[in-house]
Amino acid sequence: MPATVELLGFGEALHGGEEFLVLRNRLFRQLVTDHGYRALAIESSLPKAEAVNAYIAGHGASRYEDVADAGISHGFGQLTANRELVEWMRQYNCDPANATKLRFYGFDIPIGTIGAASPRQSFEHVLAFLAVIDERRSATHRQHIEPLLGEESAWDNPAMYSDRSLSLGGSQATGELRLAIEDLISELRIQGPGFGTGEHAAQYSEALHYAIMTRQLLNFHVAFARGAGQAELLGIRATLMADNLAFILEQERTAARYWRSPITATYSVAKRSSRSLGGRL
């Protein structure tokens, strides 16, 4: 495999088909054992995937069943091939002979039960980092944001797919949340010179990305509520997925390979590198 390759796609067009996933698993194992690849991302909610990454690292949940749905969106955690993949990554990491450990990511938009998720988890991630650098400011933001978030179920209400007026995207609270995330993005960028390097650099980069991801998630809800067509909604999603891939590449300082269908079914593996790609796709 040429060392200059940064992103390579493999495609499959079926949701729920296992044959391609079995092949993916074989390819990933070979890339790990023969070519030094150390990270993999699938078409799954980026925030949710943190639970799976903790599982394969040997902390967090102790059973796959505890992360199958909590850590893999779209119901893909129930697929046998995905379970086999995650368990193999966990076993690899548990072997002390493997000094460099594997990492697991999702790079899809935050997903709820059936559609785009509540922005709560993404906001929480940003506020948690802000609390580390300025607890008072974080508490002030939280006091303003918390009442606007409402109930999780209201963001993922199945009835809104037949009546878009039920979507929270058109509410005054969502408008205020959009202003709130812009304030947070601005504040994080102002803090960049102090925290963009040094011991907090990785956490800062992650918090800023989560803030930008929250902006796009809110944009998705707003577009849905005003009756946007599928092309626009998928465009917002695709843009965010590309941003997430760029973030993963930067985090891993990698060259990467991803497995993607022409429509939605996307899987990715990434190889560690000594240089930063700067988010180039």
> How far, in Å, CA of 158 to CA of 161, rounded?
6
SS3 263: coil
Higher pLDDT among residues 149 and 9, named by residue: 149
> How far, in Å, CA of 158 to CA of 167, rounded?
10
Whether the per-residue pLDDT at 17 is higher than 90: the answer is no
SS3 63: coil
| Average pLDDT value over all residues in the chain | 85
Whether the per-residue pLDDT at 221 is higher than 90: the answer is yes
Whether the per-residue pLDDT at 68 is higher than 80: the answer is yes
> How far, in Å, CA of 168 to CA of 199, rounded?
38
pLDDT interval class at 176 (50, 70, 90): very high
* Reported pTM: 0.85
Whether the per-residue pLDDT at 146 is higher than 50: the answer is yes
Question: What is residue 201's predicted lDDT score, i.e. its pLDDT?
Answer: 85
> How far, in Å, CA of 115 to CA of 109, rounded?
10
Q: 161, 115 in Cβ contact below 8 A? A: yes
pLDDT digits (tens, 9 = 90+) for 43-63: 899 999 999 999 999 998 899
Q: Find all residues with CB under 8 Å of 251, minimum gap 6, and list them.
A: 202, 205, 206
Q: What are phi and psi of 257, to 5 degrees?
A: -125, 135
Distance, first Cα to last Cα, the chain: 18
Domain residue extents for the chain: 9-108+254-272, 120-228
Max Cα distance, the chain (Å): 56
Q: What does the DSSP 8-state code read for residue 73?
A: T
Whether the per-residue pLDDT at 255 is higher than 60: the answer is no
H or E element at residue 129: helix 120-133
Closest CA to 251 of 21, 45, 46, 76: 46
Q: 74, 49 in Cβ contact below 8 A? A: no
Quote the percentage of the chain above a pLDDT of 90: 60
Interval 262-267 mean pLDDT: 34
